[in-house]
Chain A
């Protein structure tokens, strides 16, 4: 009988080494406290925090979520305690977990806010990486930074000069060509790109003739968007060299594998956390089993291995 070697699930995202490629996506996991009793957090590859802004934000008018076919819309509006409270109140719990903590940040009005946030996070050793959320559909005033290649490039290169920490740029699917934006982020010095953020959407209560969520439009997530996300990961993979963190409706091992095969180096579990808090750990075990069953020793032997 052939003795199978133990599969290696570790991956590198820039300078960051993850013991496994399964993260939890920003905005779907709070600052992890709520999940403490529902799963063994230490087993996760990394945690991406809910997005932090400089000042505390109250968030958007409720109702903030509604269910849609195999998905959901949300417009939370980046409710968060602000960077200082995050560091003081939320970070100590995350730090104790001993796994990589990726802090997601956003600007409310001016891209310059990113510089202040990065400046502050750069000094904190508990912060393993910074995710630039330039794609939140619920912060939209005119155009999102990630909807313009030049703006993406300008922001990423400015932030790049401020930190040596691993930088991840989170991209919006609400664009004509996501690979152009991914390329701009890569060329400006981003260590990785995370895609996709939610798709802009709307849902209407036909009995009352009103939108189902308070801010009328929101971000669509869940299995409904998965084919869009897989295709965008594949598109970006064909154009860039930096690692892709794939996400969009991942619910289980099979859906996670779609992203790896399309070109993702790591994946993030998002909406599934709300429904099955143990989903990410189930995926870690499932990947191990898939690799063992198929004699795959390293994840790099799956990433981008889509056949013609």
Chain B
């Protein structure tokens, strides 16, 4: 299914906590076709400044609702946070390639899948967890402090085991989520190592997760985040280095395997 451009009605747009916001818009066609790991390109206002759309991952769908989580970091996301329910939002989506996973028909006994989320990286991983709940994933969530840990209840409701790491130790493991991942892999050496790691978060975190996966010989899929001009493969602006040359994050990704990326 290729992306469509349309004007969608905002159903809700609320602050979750800190600078994190949750937005829902109504689009049956996008909701029906969205895959976990795909994103939406949003025009935050009707003007020419800010000029470009903002790419935001799909957090989930329900009926004809498309759910997004975003962090207010600059003028674009600030304007988006001021948009009201009932407003019409100019969106293009769903864009990019989603995560790859095996479709299971019954629950696994053992937990072989690990999701590693850093900050906003939880957004597409909740959508993924929904799709792969029979895998009974373990979710490692990293944030700077307790208040910034997002979506742990949503993961738990899906039957995931959730472990958190905070930089200041205000919740769970004290340190980086990548250190938590290392510890987790050590602890589980005897019970068998995971088969798949899915991750989304800041670039340095992704790089470390890819390294750890490689050292432990575990397949990894990484969802990259970057600035984009178009978001649908035309401008060649958002490229990343891979073993087969530059690839577009928007069109060839945003999900890449740890193996193919060159850091």
Contacts and interface: CB of A to CB of B under 8 A. Distances in A.
A72 B239 CA distance: 16
Given A37-B4, A65-B229, A275-B53, A222 B48 contact: yes
A100 B122 CA distance: 46
A28 B238 contact: no
B238 A277 contact: no
A38 B236 CA distance: 18
B111 to A, nearest CB: 36
Given A70-B49, A222-B51, A64 B232 contact: no
Contact of A34 (B226, B233, B246): B233
B107 to A, nearest CB: 37
Contacts, number: 97
Nearest to B47: A70
Interface residues of B, number: 32
B234 interface: yes
B239 A59 contact: yes
A305 B50 CA distance: 33
Given A70-B48, A223-B51, A274 B230 contact: yes
A274 B5 CA distance: 12
Interface string A262-287: 00000000010111111000000000
A29 B49 CA distance: 22
Interface string A251-268: 100000000000000000
Contacts of A69: 49
A28 B52 CA distance: 13
B4 A274 contact: no
Interface string A51-67: 00000001100111111
A37 B51 contact: no
B103 to A, nearest CB: 26
Contacts of B50: 67
B185 interface: no
Contacts of A76: 235-237
Q: Categorize the interface residue count of chain A.
A: 35 or more
Contacts of B240: 62
Interface string B94-129: 000000000000000000000000000000000000
Given A28-B234, A38-B232, A76-B237, A59 B51 contact: no
B215 interface: no
A115 interface: no
Interface string A223-251: 10000000000000000000000000001
Nearest to A64: B237
B156 interface: no
B236 A274 contact: no
B92 A30 contact: no
Given A37-B4, A74-B229, A251-B48, A28 B246 contact: no
A58 B244 CA distance: 11
Interface in B229-258: 229-241, 245-246, 251
B5 A30 contact: no
Contacts of A86: none
A38 B6 CA distance: 10
A166 to B, nearest CB: 25
A215 to B, nearest CB: 12
Contacts of B239: 59, 62, 64, 79
B235 A71 contact: no
A67 B227 CA distance: 9
Contacts of A274: 52-53, 229-231, 234-235
A79 B245 CA distance: 11
Interface of A: 27-30, 34-38, 50, 58-59, 62-67, 69-72, 74, 76, 79, 222-223, 251, 271, 273-278
30 contacts: A27-B235, A30-B234, A34-B233, A36-B2, A38-B3, A38-B4, A58-B245, A58-B246, A59-B239, A59-B246, A62-B238, A64-B237, A65-B235, A67-B51, A67-B227, A72-B52, A72-B229, A74-B237, A76-B237, A79-B236, A79-B246, A222-B48, A223-B48, A273-B234, A274-B52, A274-B230, A275-B230, A276-B5, A276-B43, A277-B232
Given A76-B235, A275-B51, 6 more contacts: A36-B2, A62-B238, A69-B49, A222-B48, A273-B234, A274-B53
